Structure 1
């Protein structure tokens, strides 16, 4: 029950995460909360894709990009210095509050410049993440940064699909040996309505497997809780949108043939 604070505290301290609400679920009309916890057994799910935990709140995109780089370039080892370097290369500079996150064109350009193939899916034209930014000066800086990313993406010949991606786009990319950087709302993952990047690394026929670089230390999470997370297709597509406009964005990443 939503009003059972003691039970909620016990579940959250035990590693459960809230994934939804069911209004009017109980006979007295009270709302029920839905929680989930991934049970992995004694043997962790194997994956060839290295996992890297973000060290800053705003570097989820660069950390996902580094995991892809480590997958396609075995000699590459992610570290906090590269984490910040990639963030500086792909950031919108500002966000709703604090340092900016990263947007799809900037991440695709950074990946291309590191030798990866990249293809962008974005559900509408124009600058992203501006809805909650009230300062005109900040909005101007964010818009200019994104104009630069788009010009460079065009210069590099990075394909851009101006449409919402479908689950089949993700599944096809994974079947081709690619990884997919996917924008989600952080609400279902950690209870905050913020844009967040995860890396889609696998497909078992019912679930998309993801690496989530954000590890909730306050909830005693470990890497095992954030790596190889199986997300049912329907829930994945529900997560993979952000904001009032339902923005969908993804970047497929692969190993680029050397010229």
Structure 2
């Protein structure tokens, strides 16, 4: 009979301790710790039961307010190898993390554990770091993570386009919307740069300029889309990091131009923070939503970043993130149609000390 995965009980502690002693020479979980993990609200201890015997376990930890879960430990008893129990526990750990509204599952594995590494990589995990001396015996740990999707597929009717420059997230989201509403439109790097030039604030920190909501809305309107802006701040945006007065002046003038053009085009502007219901309503009406987020949760950098909200399944906002980080071995699996729980979505959809919220709803504009 195949193994059954269930939540651990207090009566499993002795069996868990036997597995722990047999599998690990160091860094062992004690009986007391197993009992605490079973009782903790911020942990899930799963066991695999085969023919009435505990064959293995997995521990998943959850930090309050975080979108990331951690696979703290996973082990298979010495007499249960080769039955696929490890992969079953790993899949159950991912399902558990997803049900706890986590976007990612992270783990550490010994660098010399080639078999486990192979299983993780075959299961879609990507290496994100290396930690020398991590274990008690001085062994090095490799850090891995995986974007959790549940049953949500990568494929979607909204085309996905990967940005080719670090500063073109907004234009790439705009192109995805254009391709969605006009099947004849094919995104390419030339249009990516053209839209960036049309929507950029000229400067951003020390590099090329990013795009602000009015510029993106104007570029979208001029490309045949309807647009409506939500912005929680009345003044010029993204100036906190700009020390040069000349750069600030140029950015302010560029944004004045965008606002004048938005007014001339009759683009509606809501000067208030958007709510989750605003996003859900727009999607229900067949629109897509360009949303400003902090890049910290997505790729660990506190920079403004645009993503495209494309769907709503009743628990998650589904997004296309145009940034696919090759250095972290990311693929389209990590960037397209990502399910983001509502609470996490609203936490990430703000930027800077003032908590700026900005979004642009996009639809197909009726030609006059």
Q: Give the TM-score range, shorter chain.
A: 0.7 to 0.9
Q: Is the 8 A contact 1:15 1:221 kept in 2?
A: no
Unmatched tracts of structure 1, length 5 or more: none
Instruction: For residue 180 of structure 1, give the secondary structure of its aligned residue in structure 2.
Output: strand
Which protein, 1 or 2, shows the higher relative CO under an 8 Å CA cutoff with sep ≥ 6? 1
Q: 2:191 aligns with which of 82, 96, 106?
A: 82
Distance 1:240 1:2 in 2: 36
Higher strand share: 2
Alpha-carbon shift at residue 32 of structure 1 (Å): 15
Structure 1 residues 178 and 28: alpha-carbon distance in aligned structure 2, compared to 1, 3 A threshold? farther
Alpha-carbon contact 2:126-2:330 (below 8 Å) kept: no
The CA distance in 2 between the partners of 1:127 and 1:155, in whole Å, is: 18
Q: Is the 8 A contact 2:179 2:187 kept in 1?
A: yes
Q: Distance in 2 between matches of 1:165 and 1:4?
A: 47
What is the RMSD of the two structures over their aligned residues, measured on CA atoms?
4.7
Q: TM-score, normalised by structure 1?
A: 0.87
Distance verdict in 2 for CA 1:33–1:235, change over 3 Å: farther
CA distance in 1, matches of 2:111, 2:240: 30
Deviations 1:129-170 (A, max 9, x none): 000110001000000000000000000000000000000000
Say if 1:12 and 1:219, in contact at 8 Å, map to a contact too: no
1:25 positional shift: 17
Which range moved further: 37-46 or 149-158?
Answer: 37-46
Unaligned regions of 5+ residues in structure 2, if any?
Answer: 1-109
What is the CA deviation profile of residues 64-97 of structure 1, one whole-angstrom value per residue up to 9, with x for unaligned ones? 0000000001000000000000000000000111
1:94 and 1:18, CA in 2 relative to 1: closer, same or farther beyond 3 A?
farther
Q: Work out the CA distance in 2 between the residues paired with 1:2 and 1:134.
A: 44
- Quote the offset at 1:188 in angstroms: 0.3
Q: Kindly state the Cα deviation for residue 203 of structure 1 after the two structures are TM-superposed.
A: 0.2
318, 343, 347: which one aligns with 1:234? 343
After TM superposition, the structure 1 stretch with the greater mean CA deviation from structure 2, 239-248 or 5-14, is: 5-14
User: Contact (CA 8 Å) 1:60, 1:196: kept in 2 or not?
Assistant: yes
C-alpha spacing 1:4/1:100, structure 2 compared with 1 (3 Å): farther
Q: Deviations over 1:104-149 (max 9, x none)?
A: 0000000000110000000010100000110001000000000000
Q: 1:36 to 1:231 in 2, by over 3 A?
A: farther
Residues 149 and 339 in structure 2, CA contact (< 8 A), matched pair in contact too: no
CA-to-aligned-CA distance 1:45-78 (integer Å, 9 cap, x gap): 4310000000000000000000000000100000
- 1:248 corresponds, among 357, 360, 365, to 357
SS at 2:355's partner residue? coil
Q: Does 1:166 align with 2:309?
A: no
Q: Number of residue pairs matched?
A: 259
Deviates more, 1:33-42 or 1:114-123: 33-42
1:224 Cα deviation (Å)?
Answer: 1.7
The alpha-carbon distance between structure 1 residues 34 and 88, as it changes in their structure 2 partners (threshold 3 A), is same
Query: Aligned in 2, Cα 1:29/1:230: closer, same or farther, shift over 3 Å?
Result: farther
- Aligned match for 2:150, one of 41, 45, 51: 41
Which entry has the higher C-alpha Rg, 1 or 2? 2
Decide whether aligned partners of structure 1 residues 77 and 83 sit closer, same or farther in structure 2, where only a CA change above 3 A counts.
same
Which stretch of structure 1 is more off in the superposition, 19-28 or 232-241?
19-28
The alpha-carbon distance between structure 1 residues 70 and 13, as it changes in their structure 2 partners (threshold 3 A), is same
* 8 Å contact kept, 1:51–1:67: yes
